[in-house]
Structure 1
Amino acid sequence: MAEQRRSKPGASGSGRAGGARRTSGQGRPDRRGKGGDRPRTSRPKPTEAERTDAQKVYDGPPLPDDITGKELSPDVRAQLRSLPEKLSQRVARHLAAAGVLIDDEPEVAYQHTLAARSRAPRLAVVREATGEAAYAAGHYAEALAELRAAKRMNGATAYLPIMADCHRALGNAKRALELAKSPSVARFPAEAKAEMTIVEAGARRDLGQMDAALRTLELAPINSKSREPWVVRLRYAYADTLEQAGRERDALSWFHRTNAIDADEITDAADRAAALERRVTD
């Protein structure tokens, strides 16, 4: 897990000494004030509430005693070694806690990643984790910003399905379709390609293009003999789209086919099939 949000604003040469950009006789910007003295620049002090809120984000939720950071994969730990030792350990623990909590307590997981990002905002692995946790917690604009930041840092394209789904959630189905057509998608492994297919079909449905949504899924390996979760999810998406298209008998058949390979019950295909059977036979 890793990525999530905004770039730090750079300092601007304008705005000093009344906003003027005068030059001295030596060609350098003249930033002197009246009497030749350099004006003092100061930022307004944050209010107590602002400081407290920022500190809360920095501190993050309490870290469980049994979370050490060693739970992270070796490649993530390797990326954190660029930080000072104590800082690296603290960031690692927040990321590990987020990984443990993301399924059951996504909002708390997101807060852990924000604490990690406050300490190490220039590491792609941290921004990636923040983006994934934001996505899980339903903060789609934040997730999109964080994943974009990670992509700028490391050039990775693995985030594209989540980014496309964020665009869908934010009401920008056309942008989701643009990402789905990215050349890099053709080189995705089967699981990631399936996730993008599901998002693409969903975007077609958002636009009222039900036939195109069905075609998108029919071109995917929904008849694969594999029982991998990505096949389960593809079949479920196809059954759901068939039902939305009014093809209830076909949908019933595909919900049964989904349930037949869903040993881990990652979908509610059995319940959907039972509900459809009652409607179809009435």
Structure 2
Amino acid sequence: MQAGELDPTVRRDLLSLDKSNANAVARHLVMAGKLIEDDPRLALAHARAARQRAGRVAVVRETAGITAYHAGEWAEALSELRAARRMAGGPGLLAVMADCERGLGRPERAIELGRSEEARALTGDEATELRIVVAGARMDLGQFDQAVVTLQTPELDASQSGPTAARLFYAYADALVAAGRVEDGLKWFLNSAAADLDGDTDAEDRVAELSGEQ
């Protein structure tokens, strides 16, 4: 594990630190990135160590927020991501922040984020990810029809594939089933399974369940 393994753009953000501290922070960030999927708690320990050394660097606070999110530390994640937004400006990771609000049992606040001015400025995958979270918040509140409507965008195109499309189709299928539209839901679970080239979802299992094959 070497500091040089860190993305060059992130390394540039650490130039405000002295060389020794920058290298230590970089190593912690590298480890956080390597561990985040398999051991999020240990990844969070590294992210916290980086934050203690470089709490005024936006990318460090953002990394701490993302790592805390993966570790299920919703309040910490939200605090860190808000700090990163204050430092760097821009919309930040609104979808992650909204999902943290859901994790804290505050789906209404997730929906408010989805209505914000920053949310309206999002495009592409970022906008789609936020819509998925907002639809989930609607589901938390039992507002299944509203969840369906939230996801009805031009991106809901069955010819698309890839992880974002697969998650969008899956969320739409889930909302349809919850709203009592099981046949439509089955169709979109099939679309999700076809779009899910990396096997990130359990869309095929949901298809089997709804088809009575289990």
TM-score, normalised with respect to structure 2: 0.95
Q: Which sits farther off after the overlay, 69-78 or 125-134?
A: 69-78
Q: 2:81 and 2:148 mapped to 1: Cα distance?
A: 29
Give the Å deviation of 1:189. 3.2
1:164 and 2:98 are equivalent in the alignment:
yes
In structure 2, distance between residues paired with 1:86 and 1:220: 49
Other structure's SS at 1:121 match = coil
Post-superposition offset of 1:250: 1.6
- Quote the residue 2:10 is aligned against: 76
Q: 1:203 to 1:96 in 2, by over 3 A?
A: same
Which residue of 228, 238, 246 corresponds with 2:180? 246
Report the AA paired with residue 80 of structure 2. E
What is the aligned counterpart of 1:213 among 147, 158, 163?
Answer: 147
- In the alignment, structure 1 segments of 5+ residues that lack a partner are 1-66
Paired residue for 1:176? Answer: 110
TM-superposed deviation, 1:219: 2.7
1:224 Cα shift?
A: 5.1
SS at structure 2 position matched to 1:126: helix
Which of structures 1 and 2 has the larger relative contact order (alpha carbons within 8 angstroms, sep 6+)?
1
Give the distance between the partners of 1:198 and 1:274, measured in 2 at CA. Answer: 23
Matched, 1:142 2:76: yes
**CA RMSD, Structure 1 to Structure 2 (Å):** 1.5
Q: Deviations over 1:195-247 (max 9, x none)?
A: 10001111111222111110011235111532131111100001111222222
SS at match of 1:107: helix
- Select which of 31, 39, 61 maps to 1:97: 31
**Which TM-score applies when normalising by structure 1?**
0.73
Structural mapping, 1:31-70, within 5 Å: 67-70=1-4
Q: Deviations over 1:44-88 (max 9, x none)?
A: xxxxxxxxxxxxxxxxxxxxxxx1122222111001111111110
Query: Within 1, Cα distance between the matches of 2:197 and 2:65?
Result: 30
The partner residue of 2:125 within 186, 191, 207 is 191
Shift of 1:157: 1.1
- The code of the aligned residue for 1:186 comes to R
| Conservation of the 8 A alpha-carbon contact between 1:140 and 1:170 | yes
User: Which residue identity is paired with 1:240?
Assistant: D
Equivalent position to 2:171, from 237, 256, 279: 237
Contact 1:194 1:220 in 2 (8 A): no
| Structure exhibiting the larger radius of gyration computed from Cα positions | 1
Question: In the alignment, is residue 153 of structure 1 matched against residue 98 of structure 2?
Answer: no
After TM superposition, give the deviation of residue 185 of structure 1 in Å: 2.2
Query: In the alignment, does 2:62 pair up with 1:128?
Result: yes
> Any residues of structure 2 matched to 1:20-39 within 5 Å, and which?
none
Where 2:3 maps in the other structure, the secondary structure is coil
CA distance in 2: counterparts of 1:149 and 1:261, whole angstroms: 35
Give SS of 1:265's match. coil
Kept in 2, the 8 Å contact 1:158–1:192? The answer is no
Deviations 1:130-159 (A, max 9, x none): 000000000000000111111111113131
Residue in structure 2 matched with residue 6 of structure 1 by the alignment: none
SS at match of 1:246: coil
| Runs of at least 5 residues in structure 2 that lack an aligned partner in the other structure | none
Identity of aligned residues (%): 48
State the alpha-carbon separation in 2 of the partners of residues 116 and 156 from structure 1.
23
* Cα separation, 2, equivalents of 1:206 and 1:252: 21
The runs of at least 4 consecutive aligned structure 1 residues that moved more than 3 Å come to none
* Structure (1/2) with the larger helix percentage: 2
Q: How many residues align?
A: 214
Q: Distance in 2 between matches of 1:97 and 1:258?
A: 33
1:31 aligned residue: none
